[in-house]
Amino acid sequence: MILLTRRATFSASHYYWNPAWSEEQNVATFGRCANRQGHGHNYTLEVTVNGEVDPVSGFVVDLKWLKDVIEHEVLDVYDHRHLNHEVPEFASTIPTTENIAIAVWKRLEVPVKVAGGAKLSRVRVYETNDIFADYLGETDGASA
């Protein structure tokens, strides 16, 4: 069982707001994150894949390829963007750290399998140094 991880970063704005709620309820639930002017973070992303080590190249996947996939599928869409206003999946889903991790998984799962011949194993998103979410897919959670 071998896992290979590549880290990347992006800077984006967001805010937390449930349009079905009153302003009072939003502020009560989300605190300062409900400020609709938005605030932002330097997000750090860790993308982990697993597979067999190719005996010829010594690679699970080509890390240069993995970097490019992350850039094309995620960073080009998220970096220097306002997540609520400019990223389709957050038009109606609140861009919490948990939901960002799930959204990144959805963007990467197929390319990693089809083009990379590997299995997406974990997506970790750090919102700050002190907060991060891990999404492991709709599996039985057996590997982390």
What is the closest distance, in whole angstroms, from the C-beta atom of residue 45 to its own copies in the complex? Answer: 10
**Does the annotation count 33 as an active-site position?**
yes
Say if residue 70 is exposed, middle or buried (CB neighbours under 10 Å; 0-12, 13-18, 19+). Answer: buried
Q: Which residues, 11 to 40, sit near its own copies by CB under 8 A?
A: 11-14, 16, 18, 20, 29-33, 35, 37-40
Q: Which residues, 53 to 72, sit near its own copies by CB under 8 A?
A: 53, 56-60, 62-64
What is the closest distance, in whole angstroms, from the C-beta atom of residue 126 to its own copies in the complex? Answer: 9
The number of C-alpha atoms within 13 Å of 98 and in the hemisphere containing its C-beta is 3
What is the closest distance, in whole angstroms, from the C-beta atom of residue 114 to its own copies in the complex? Answer: 20
Q: How many CB atoms lie within 10 A of CB 64?
A: 10
Task: Look at residue 38 and give its three-state secondary structure.
Answer: coil
What's the rounded Cα separation, in Å, for the pair 107 and 115? 13
Place of tokens 């992303």: 45
**List 74, 101, 104, 118, residue binding its own copies (CB under 8 A):** 101
Check binding of 85 to its own copies (CB under 8 A): yes
**Does the annotation count 80 as an active-site position?**
yes
**List 27, 71, 79, 109, residue binding its own copies (CB under 8 A):** 79
